[in-house]
A and B are shown apart, each in its own frame.
Chain A
Amino acid sequence: MKPRFLTLAAALLGASVLALGAADARPLKWARSGDALTLDPHGQNEGPTTALNQHIYEGLTERDHTGKLGPLLATSWRVLPNDPTTWEFKLQSGIKFHDGAPFTADDVVFSYERAMQPTSDFKGYLSSVEKVSKVDDLTVHIKTKGPNPLLVNNTESIRILSKAWAEKNNAVKAQDFKNKEENFAVRNANGTGPFILVSRETDVKTVMKRNDGYWNKAKVPLEVTELTFVPIKQDATRVAALLSGEVDFVQDVPVQDIARLKSAPKMRVTSGAENRTIFFGMDVASADLKGDDVQGKNPFADKRVRQALNMAINRGAIQRVVMRGESVPTGIIMPPFVNGWTKELDAAPATDVAKAKALLAEAGYPNGFSTTLHCPNDRYVNDEGICQAAVGMFGQIGVKVNLVSQSKSIHFTLIQKNPPETEFYLVGWGVPTYDSDYIFSFMYHSRTGSRGSWNATGYKDAEIDSMIQSLSQEIDIAKRDATISKIWTKLKDETIYLPIHHQALSYAMNSSLDIPVDVANSPKLKMVSFKGS
């Protein structure tokens, strides 16, 4: 009996040692609802595309899963002391591309110029850049049109590809959709990143293998030996694939499945706030609205009406019922990681139907009014449900809302048209630069020049506009932050938008993984380390 027991124990020990040994490095299958559109690092500025490409291509800087900026291909950077319009980046030495070519300043200059071309979808990040030039093999200067104290925030998004490789394969330009040929970079890749492309079948799977010569190996676990990315569009199928063990890690987890996955054996669900806020916007400028029943007046132009609507929204109920807890109610259209965010600004008004009714009466609408709300039904988490809930809440204070829900391609067209074709709409906004200026420029600045393209409210305030413009030139950070705070205080009082919540994200995975939610919803799988089995 005894020897047998010992053998068994030894066998068990051996097995567990083996399991531990195997636990160090494993393949990983990763699924989300949509595929990357292209592998071209400057082709499509779109969430899933960037999330995949960052494993192959790298930028000068990177953000961790909390949104904190750190060095990557560049080791350090500064604004030249004698020239506030020039940024200097020092590059990491000894880096090689996947094809073995060395990484130098030439590749950086080439990639930035490629990203600034008219057909690139990333040119918006570099609109302030005048010229990118090489100083020596490991030093690059970026000259801006005026002082731009925040340029470094945008370098995370501009990924670097090999100049020689692009020239050899005729991929010097980013994808041009008018051109009838496929760009070589769409399905082939050569970056410096932790994973090397093995094969790509669009809408089927993308296979990458670990880059064993990865330059940054000392600083990241890099335990995934083979990374397979599969898009699974249907919610139920995606969850089933995780439960059946066919995939290990799933993004875009449907909120109604979270509780079930949490209680399933050998499953883990991580949650956290996303860099995205959901809110309503409305036409505050037109003299009269087309979609309402008030003649000759625009009720939304009256601040009291906007405040009443803001008070009518029961954010707690939306969080509980529509979002099943997967959201953070807010009173400002700025995610908490963004420069300028404070707890005071984030506070939402308490739901108060009586007071809201009184405000409406004071504004001259004792019996309320009726209007039309436009809502997307395939863009944000439970977007249509949020609108349906809000319609009921507005109804309680006498504002009868007719809801129109449609696909995002139609919905966003209404907002982007000039003049906009909606007077009351739902929209969500993420802040890739992590600075308030991004929100101000797109959402609050009047629609002139390159600013205000998402401001469908018609809000126009010369003082606010000039303060917003001053932000992009101000080098004194303390002074700049003071201006940001001043702008927010005024805007919050104006109630141009009705904030609902910060969207939360959940990732589901098998229990050997613990991947934290990435605020940009762009998980970094070089950071994965496996736990036991």
Chain B
Amino acid sequence: MLAYILRSLMQGLVVMLAVAFIAFTMFRFVGDPVVNMLGQEATLQDRAELTERLGLNDPVPLQFARFVADAAQGDFGVSWRQGRKVSSLIVERLPATVELAVLSAIFAFVVGIALGVYAAIRRDGWIANLVMSLSLIGVSLPTFLIGIGLIYIFAVELRWLPSFGRGDTVRIGWWTTGLLTVSGLKSLVLPVLTLGFLQLTLIMRLVRSEMLEVMRADFIRFARARGIPERKIEFRHALRNTMIPVITIAGLQLGGVIAFAIVTETVFQWPGLGALFVNAVQFVDVPVMSAYLMFVAFVFVLTSLMVDLIYVALDPRLRGSPAMAK
């Protein structure tokens, strides 16, 4: 088991190096950072000097080697946009993104499963049909529009919730949280709904179809024949067997939600990593872009590892099986 985890982490390291290298070769197409870093009065000589100082004239493999050597020591340099250490920027922005992503994942997971089960059990009821048709909207509307729509209803017209930002936060060690203040909680509602909506509809539709599939299986029919109560069949036997594919999708989605909350963060001016990255791309802030992409790769490696571990917990057949020990 331990060997398996270690092996996965080693593979993850290779993935991260590959991501970093691909990112580095692509940075040159984003533009020239020197243009943004110097005011319009800069002379040609000023630009040439800064380019040289930043080491941008060196060949890409050399720049990459320098980056990896520094990164291995935990040094990602200073942001060219803000003049601050990249590592402290990431640490500062991480709580906002993690809170948003985890809450929207929980929201999507809980509500998604509940509605999915309901829609499967009462597949002909009018509520189930209504929910199914509404979920089509979730799948087809872009996140951006959902966010703007929610802002107009709840912030501009009703004035119940704030339209941007994170509200007041409480600092606990290096972590900042919006969960402990009223304005922080209010600020979370709209971004969580926006970010979780697409995942919710996906999970719901998946649960419904998997559940319908399982309910037709032989072991359910035998369970009914044995006279086991319907509730118990539905939740104990059918739902549990539905969960494996649902966990796979939801787990991989969580990685995506943390990594690519970019659109939601931009719409709500949410001070997380996605917003940091968007600003970095526009400014060609190479140190921040490379550190962020490394972080995203790390999140994906980590979540896929966790999904593997949850499989084991859910499916007894996988425990100690040769597939795991390999």
Binding site for B on A (CB under 8 A): 37-38, 40, 43-46, 118, 121-122, 124-125, 175, 177-183, 186-187, 201-205, 230-234, 236-238, 240-241, 243-246, 378, 407-413, 416, 418, 429-430, 442, 447, 449-451, 453-454
Contact = CB atoms under 8 A, between A and B. Distances in A.
B284 A244 contact: no
A44 B284 contact: no
25 contacts: A37-B82, A124-B46, A177-B50, A180-B77, A180-B85, A181-B78, A183-B83, A186-B83, A203-B271, A205-B165, A230-B165, A230-B269, A233-B269, A234-B269, A237-B163, A237-B164, A240-B156, A240-B164, A246-B155, A408-B36, A409-B30, A409-B31, A409-B36, A442-B41, A449-B43
A262 to B, nearest CB: 16
B43 A204 contact: no
Main SS class of interface, A: loop
Interface string B40-68: 11111111011001100000000000000
Contacts of A122: 39
A418 B43 CA distance: 12
B318 to A, nearest CB: 44
B279 interface: yes
Contacts of A407: 30-31, 282
B117 interface: no
B153 to A, nearest CB: 10
B4 interface: no
Contacts of B112: none
A403 to B, nearest CB: 18
B150 to A, nearest CB: 10
A407 B83 CA distance: 22
Contacts of A378: 282
Contact of B155 (A201, A240, A410, A430): A240
Interface of B: 29-33, 35-47, 49-50, 53-54, 75, 77-78, 80-85, 88-89, 148, 151-152, 155-156, 159, 162-166, 266-269, 271, 275-276, 278-279, 282-284
Contacts of A177: 37, 50, 53-54, 78, 80, 83
A187 B269 contact: no
Contacts of B85: 180-182
Given A37-B83, A234-B269, A124 B39 contact: yes
B282 to A, nearest CB: 7
Contact of B271 (A201, A447, A450): A201
A122 B41 CA distance: 8
Nearest to B151: A240
B269 A121 contact: no
B44 A447 contact: yes
Contacts, number: 157
B151 A237 contact: yes
A453 B42 contact: yes
A187 B84 contact: yes
Contacts of A38: 82-83
A240 B163 contact: yes
Contacts of B39: 44-46, 121-122, 124
Given A38-B82, A180-B78, A186-B84, A410 B159 contact: no
Contacts of B159: 244-245
Given A45-B41, A413-B35, 15 more contacts: A45-B38, A181-B85, A186-B84, A203-B275, A204-B166, A230-B165, A237-B268, A238-B164, A240-B163, A240-B164, A246-B162, A407-B30, A416-B32, A416-B47, A442-B40
Contacts of B32: 409-410, 412-413, 416
Nearest to A417: B32
Contacts of B163: 237, 240-241, 244, 246
Contacts of A413: 31-32, 35
A121 B38 CA distance: 6
Contacts of A238: 164
Contacts of A245: 159
Given A121-B39, A407-B31, A418-B44, A203 B276 contact: yes
Contact of A202 (B53, B75, B82, B267): B82
A182 B276 CA distance: 18
Contacts of A202: 82, 84, 89
B93 to A, nearest CB: 8
A468 to B, nearest CB: 15
Closest 9 CB pairs of A and B: A409-B31, A45-B39, A124-B41, A413-B32, A410-B31, A450-B43, A175-B83, A412-B35, A240-B163
Contacts of B266: 233-234
B49 to A, nearest CB: 8
Contacts of B47: 416, 453
A125 B282 CA distance: 26
A234 B267 contact: yes
Nearest to B47: A416
A46 B162 CA distance: 30
Contacts of A232: 164, 269
A178 B49 CA distance: 12
A182 B84 contact: yes
Contacts of A243: 156
A418 B46 CA distance: 13
Contact of A40 (B75, B83, B155, B268): B83
Contact of B53 (A178, A204, A230): A178
A454 B275 contact: no
A124 B50 CA distance: 14
Contact of B164 (A246, A411, A442, A451): A246
Contacts of A411: 31
A241 B164 contact: yes
B115 to A, nearest CB: 29
A44 B39 CA distance: 7
A113 to B, nearest CB: 18
Nearest to B287: A177
A244 B154 CA distance: 9
B282 A409 contact: yes
Contacts of A118: 49
Contacts of B36: 408-409
A447 B49 CA distance: 17
Given A450-B43, A454-B40, A409 B53 contact: no
A246 B35 CA distance: 34
B134 to A, nearest CB: 24
B269 A231 contact: yes
A266 B32 CA distance: 44
Contacts of B75: 180
Nearest to A412: B35
A170 B284 CA distance: 28
Which of B33, B45, B85, B164: most chain A Cβ within 10 A? Answer: B164
